Amino acid sequence: MSNRFDVIVLGGGPAGYVCAIRAAQLGLSTAVIEKDKLGGVCVNIGCIPTKALLHSALVANTIAHDAKGLGIAVEGVSTDYGVAMKRSRRVSEQNSKGVGFLMKKHKVTVISGTGTLLPGKQVAVEDQVYTADKGIVIATGSRVKGIPPAGLNLDGKVIISSDEALFLEHAPASIAVVGAGAVGCEFADIFNAFGSAVTLIEALPRILPLEDAAASDVVAKSFKKRKIKSIAGAMVKNTEVREGGATLTIEAAGKTETVDVDVVLVAAGRAVNTEGIGLEAIGAELDDRGFIRVNLDTLETTAQGYYAIGDVAGPPMLAHKGSREGVVVAERLAGHTPHPIRYDNIPSVTYCHPEVASIGLTEEACAEQGLEYQAGLFPFSANGRARASNATDGFVKILRDTKYGEILGAHIVGADASEMIHELAVARENEFTVEEIDLAVHAHPTLSEAIAEAALDSLGRVMHT
Amino acid sequence: MATTVVMEALSPTMEEGRLVEWKQPEGAAVTTGDVLAEVETDKAVMELVARADGTLLKHLVPAGTTVPVADPVGIIGQPGEDITGLAGGAAPAAPAKSEPQEQAPTPSAPQPAAEASSTPSDGTAVTTATDRPKASPLARRMARDQGIDLSALAGSGPGGRIIKRDVEGAASQGVAPSAPVPAGGGFVDVPLTQMRKTIAKRLAESIGPVPTFYLTADIAMDRTWEAREALKALGPEGKVSFNDIILKATATALRQHPECNAWWQGDAIRQWHEVHLGMAVAIDEGLITPVIRNADQKTLREISAEARALSEKARARKLQPEEYTGATFSVSNLGNFGIDHFTAIINPPEAGILAIGGIAERPVVVDGTVTVQRRMLVTMSCDHRVIDGALGAAFLKTLRTVLENPLALVW
């Protein structure tokens, strides 16, 4: 095997392996270096296995809460997290193998081992040195970290991260989830469905703090109905760990309270994998937040010929953002001029139930920026398909620029929100206005009709409310 | 071998020609001497004919484009022939899998051909008057609202599509608003024809930067006199000056002659949709020309009140800049100073100004009999680049009709 390639990608996650496929498609000889499993965090201990567990949770909730009313009597129902976990592992393994198959199909060389960057567009893996003629792409990703200032040091047993939660044999009797972003809300949903008493703790004033406030409200209500205890605006002041449990001291609204649980899941804070990969040796700098400093147009680092994509290159730390960066860098290395990435048009999705999907600005951001906007809102309770499917929680909200009809932001809360958001992603990418959304005929009855109705509502002519 | 069709010098002084219309579509079989296109020169509209037999493979410029003499406008060759070297990357007829082949030299250099067809943002050459530019719905709407000509922009989106960013960039760089602007947008820029360019150039050379000529009309003011007397009967409210009536009449006439309500813009004539009338006011230090905005839409009473207020402000030197800029046409009246006839100097970029003399009883011959009438001499100074003699005369005729039949002011 030759040690010389056009492109060498360090890291086989969703940013790195997609970059490698695109480079190979464009005729470049390409290698991917991966120290663990292909597919990275996303496929193995992130996006994919959590979606498998959330599907189990949805079925459990449907049977527990809805089946009877749907005319299905189910008795003697019990849940088993261990079985759901094992199924999620099989899904992950299939996907990881699928990435391996894709590498073979596209003739990308996979090098197993830990790569260290060297000057002169070289990478050392164990005793081998590989050279790239065109460029080296750094896609080493990120990992969980605890919150040491709050005493939340990960120990893998009582204080755990998603890395361990995904491999538990049993759902704990009680669990505190610290951090109510996407990861925290998804695990709160999962463990609640599997019978754990869940306390969800968020430092900012509301759960899903980065989403539109109206979206947070719907999820908070839904969680409350399912007896998930949410405490927002709360700081963890102290953590006392004992055998088989922990006591958290939290301060919220000027009051101090303690929470006793068997397990604490830390779902906030990730660290980027920038250590020990040779960044100093090649002269690649970090920015003041610890990400690799890149030129946002080219994604080249401060070291010429070395590029960074995905989580190490900066937020948002999302698989689909990394994948797109991989495509752009591959095309650039092949001598193309790819269209720049619109970082303001990357969808964000939380897969708890109801799902939350958004793109662009929140209504709060529109107001803060002093934009002239009109919010169009359509609740799923007014949508025929949602009623038929017993999925009336949530809404579609579209924020329309008053002057030109530009879609400043869109927010969907409800069943299948994750699938529906892309109509608005396509619209925004092509600079369609709300009028074009309305002009496109939406099939009846579908949940997506709510999008067209929200567009109409932003124009002051909603039909079905 | 393909032959390039070039813009020919169809008159001795012709430096560039506007391709008015293609007479043969792409793909048409042509023989030497066939008329390919109509070209407007500085003198006339003439015909561009084929100098070779074959198929007109490509129009390198769309109709409406102004092209310098000797620059390529089309390609004649055999069907299916590879003309990529001549037509730049834009040749649809070229088969994608054609073998690389040496480009044979052509009588006219192929390089300008590639440039002309592949750099539409070049400015001088290609403005697509007929092609709908590729633009996002949002960009389209923003451009329409801001009066930006999409065809003047280079798109940075996929496939050269014009997107929001491009329109914003154009707006911040002050790209000239486009023509035509939808109603209410303010004005229309009329592109200069070859003839108008030549007129402008020659006259400016002859007489100075604003080539001015003068038209004088002798107008009977008896009915206007009576009308003013009649208004006086309404009491103090009905007191209007002759100047007020003349301003109103001028605005009314300009409304019917938008060619005179225009600015010379160097590369276009800007015809304004509204009439903003400048009114010369003598003050201690000299004179100033406050502006009655939308004078064509105001009643005589409104104009009278506004003219009085502006005059007072002018004499008190309290006019704000927006009150003495932006006129589309002006009126100067020295009738009160005992002047019978004078000429006024145009205030560029306006194209015309009226010099109003005093109203005096004079003997005139009507139907073979000498009678006495109240007469007024009005002299219009015209920027010849914008207003030709006949246009100015037509305007003055309308003005005369209105002043001699003042009921027209309320029609």
How does pLDDT run across A149-165, given as a tens digit for each residue? 888 999 999 999 999 99
A66 to chain B, any CB pair closer than 8 A? The answer is: no
DSSP B310-325: HHHHHHTT---GGGSS
Place of tokens 């012709």: B14
CA–CA distance, A262 with A193 (Å, rounded to integer) = 17
B137 and A436 within 8 Å at the Cβ level: the answer is yes
Running DSSP on this structure, what letter comes out for residue A278? S
Identity of the residue numbered B159: G
For chain B, which residues lie within 8 Å of any Cβ of chain A, measuring from their own Cβ?
Answer: 136-139, 141-142, 145, 157-158, 163-164
Q: Which residues of A touch B141 (CB under 8 A)?
A: 404-405, 433
CB contact under 8 Å between A435 and B142, yes or no, is: no
Alpha carbon distances (Å) from B247 to A435, B160, B231, B292, B300: 46, 50, 16, 9, 9
Distance CA A169, CA A185 (A): 21
Contact status of A427 with chain B (Cβ, < 8 Å): no
Closest-CA residue to A375 (of A458, A435, A463, A434): A458
Is A136's pLDDT higher than 80? Answer: yes
Does A395 have pLDDT greater than 80? Answer: yes
**Residue in A460, A356, A368, A367 with CA at minimum distance from that of residue A405:** A460
Best of A341, A345, A400, A404 to mutate (most B CBs within 10 Å, chain B): A404
Relative orientation angle of helices B389-404 and B222-232, to the nearest 10 degrees: 40
Interface test with B, best of A345, A426, A431 (most B CBs within 10 A): A431
State how far the Cα of B185 lies from the Cα of B146, in Å rounded to an integer.
9
A368–chain B Cβ distance below 8 A for any pair: no
pLDDT at A225 over 80: yes
Strands (E), B192-279: 212-220, 262-264, 268-272, 277-279
Q: Provide the residue count of chain A.
A: 465
Does the beta-carbon distance from B164 to A433 stay under 8 Å?
no
- According to DSSP, the residues that pair with B17 across neighbouring strands are B67
Q: Which stretches in chain B have pLDDT values below 70?
A: 1, 12, 43, 85-131, 173-185, 206
- How does residue A430 score in pLDDT terms, banded at 50, 70 and 90? very high
Confirm or reject contact between A297 and chain B (CB < 8 A): no
Per-residue pLDDT, B98: 38
CB atoms within 10 A of CB A36: 15
The percent of residues in chain A predicted with pLDDT above 90, rounded, is 95
A337 touches chain B (CB under 8 A): no
pLDDT at residue A120, rounded to an integer: 95
Residue B351, beta-bridge partner list:
none
Q: Which of residues 385-404 of A touch B (CB under 8 A)?
A: 403-404
In this structure, the strands spanning A270-272 and A263-266 are: unpaired
Q: Which helix (H) or strand (E) holds A191?
A: helix A182-193
- DSSP helix/strand/coil, A353: coil
Contacting residues of B for A404, CB less than 8 Å apart: 138, 141-142, 145
Cβ contact, residue pair B141, A405, below 8 Å? yes
Q: Is B317 left (phi over 0), alpha (psi -120 to 50) or beta?
A: left
Beta strands (DSSP E) in A206-361 are 229-231, 234-242, 245-252, 255-261, 263-266, 270-272, 306-308, 348-350, 355-360
Model ipTM value: 0.73
**Which amino acid type is present at position A170?**
H
Burial of A229 (0-12, 13-18, 19+ CB in 10 A): middle
Instruction: Summarize pLDDT for A171-200 with one digit per residue, the tens.
Output: 999 999 999 999 999 999 999 999 999 999
Separation between Cα atoms, residue A403 and residue B171, nearest integer Å: 16
Q: Which residue has the tokens 């007129």?
A: B199
| CA B11 to the chain's CA centroid | 25
Instruction: From A180, A188, A178, A266, select the one nearest A215 (Cα to Cα).
Output: A180
